Amino acid sequence: MNEAQVAKLMKTLGCTREEAIDIIQADSDIDHGKRVSFDLSPEDEKRAKKYANCDTHKRVKKTVERKPDEEKEAIVAEIAEFFDKKSGFSTENVEIINKNRQIRFSIGENWYEITLVKKNLNKFKPKGE
């Protein structure tokens, strides 16, 4: 314990020498992770740790039920049929992974996936329009 530190605390806080030494000791205990008289009880500490790492409100994940898009299903089926029967490539293992969206196939040892995305015209404007 440093005498200059004790003197500075006594002058700054207007406390006695014993109080300044007690403050310095409490600071040291806190710095080293020791329990001090004004710590929370073990139950309160558990509760504080539980609430310290949580959001302000629980978020509920909403599952959006999509309407079936028959046009996309038809396009995906047509592309899959093309790769399976009419393609100039020797495609194998043609499968529709998601009937509204994805096709997977292989050419030789390489695998490919095609994903069909329908654009919303309010958000997407093709060039030249």
Reply yes or no on whether the pLDDT at 58 is more than 80: no
Beta bridge partners of 91: 107
Would the pLDDT of 57 be above 70?
A: no
Mean pLDDT of 69-73: 90
pTM of the predicted model, to two decimals?
Answer: 0.46
Q: Rounded CA gap, 81 and 95, in Å?
A: 10
Q: What are the domain boundaries of the chain?
A: 1-35, 70-115
Mean pLDDT for all residues in the chain: 83
Least confident stretch, 7-21, 58-72, 94-108: 58-72
Give the pLDDT of residue 118: 86
The DSSP result for 19-32, as a single string, is HHHHHHHHHHHHHT
* Cα–Cα dist 61/56, whole Å: 16
Q: Give the pair of three-digit tokens for residue 119.
A: 């654009």
Q: ∠ CA(78), CA(80), CA(85), 5° rounding?
A: 95
- Per-residue confidence (pLDDT) for residue 32, from 0 to 100: 84
